[in-house]
Amino acid sequence: MRLGVLDVGSNTVHFLVVDAHPGAAPVPAYSHKIELRLAELLDADGAISDDGVRQLVDMVASSMRVAEDKGVEEVLPFATSAVREAANGEEVLKRVQRETEVDLRVLSGGDEARLTFLAARRWYGWSAGRLLLLDIGGGSLEIACGLDEQPDSAVSLPLGAGRLTAGWLPGDPPDPDDVRRLRRHVRAQIARTVAEVSRLGAPDRVVGTSKTFKQLARITGAAREADGPYLPRTLTRSALAAWMPRLAAMTTEQRALLPGVSAGRARQLLAGALVADGAMDLFGVESLDICPWALREGLILRRLDQMPGEH
């Protein structure tokens, strides 16, 4: 069947059309997205601005037109931390439903971690052994670890790259004191989760998902996304550590010139790097693999698991 996944994330609102059936990998057929950066469109009270809500409604409506044009049989609409934690989140959901007839399902942080973990497990298979998953979004950091398709530990922390940039790094380039304060904050938050994950045993494989990890891997020498999803891509802590002072000294415009870094994501790349560096350091990770699949694929796979198989 042809499925549509409407992902209202903290950075991007993405409508992905895939051809899928039970027992097979979902195949992307069409992509429609905008970089709305909801995590950065919050007012002083923590509410999504009127302009942000209007843009979201327009994007959802246009996604439904795409769904009709592309012959989508079922749409899976969901929202993550930006809507989940916004002061006016309920009002935003009601307005989207009223104006587009789309009921956005708000995922909890734990749901995000578990579904992303499922996607990574299916991508790497059982031979990967115990997986440790790290996912840096615009609004939150997800950490999950386990041997099965359901992780034994799934944690979500408010350490998304967009959220941290908006709240901690106002300068361009950022003030070194602000960078140090953010580094301390990030590491203190992550350190609270280390014991829970470490008690499960050392991971056999560590994977990173999300645009942030892909961009950090790219600037440290990994293959381009255009070269296809099956090329192995890794991020080492030593290479990331070498880049940290350079990223901190760059302006947004300078970061946007780096390989694989989009103009819309350039401003938040440093905050994402601080989270990646802190997580890899505190969990004792010297190298991680970049997983092409993440939350959207996890949601599709879970839906396919619920469908009757062919006999």
Burial of 240 (0-12, 13-18, 19+ CB in 10 A): buried
Task: Give the pairing of strands 27-34 and 74-79.
Answer: unpaired
Average pLDDT of span 74-80: 97
DSSP 42: B
Look up tokens 């908006």; give the residue: 166
The DSSP output letter for 226 is G
Q: How many Å apart are CA 147 and CA 125, to the nearest integer?
A: 11
Q: The tokens 């002072």 sit on which residue?
A: 245
Of the candidate ranges 8-22, 140-154, 296-310, the one whose mean pLDDT is the lowest: 296-310
Distance of CA 51 to the CA centre of its chain: 23
pLDDT at 256: 97
- 65: pLDDT strictly greater than 60: yes
Statement: residue 311 has pLDDT above 60: no
**What angle do helix axes 269-282 and 211-219 make, rounded to 10 degrees?**
90
Asked whether 231 and 2 are in contact (CB, 8 A), the reply is no
pLDDT for the residue numbered 234: 98
39, 52 in Cβ contact below 8 A? no
Q: What does pTM read for this prediction?
A: 0.95
- What percent of the chain has a predicted confidence (pLDDT) above 90? 91
- Closest to 271 (Cα-Cα) out of 283, 255, 257: 255
Who wins on pLDDT, 44 or 110?
110
Q: How much is the average pLDDT of 37-41? A: 84
Neighbours of 259 (CB within 10 A): 11
Structure tokens of 145? Answer: 């670890």
Q: What is the mean pLDDT of residues 48-64?
A: 96
Q: Are 240 and 277 in contact (CB under 8 A)?
A: yes
**Mean pLDDT, residues 36-65:** 92
Structure tokens at 24: 């097979």
pLDDT at 310 over 70: no
d(CA 212, CA 209): 8
pLDDT of 23 over the 60 cut: yes
Share above pLDDT 70 across residues of the chain, in percent, rounded to a whole number: 99
> What per-residue confidence (pLDDT) applies to 44?
81
Mean pLDDT, range 218-231, rounded to an integer: 95
d(CA 46, CA 56): 17
CA nearest neighbour of 37 among 300, 303, 268: 268
> What integer pLDDT is reported at residue 307 of this predicted model?
82
Q: What is the mean pLDDT of the chain?
A: 95
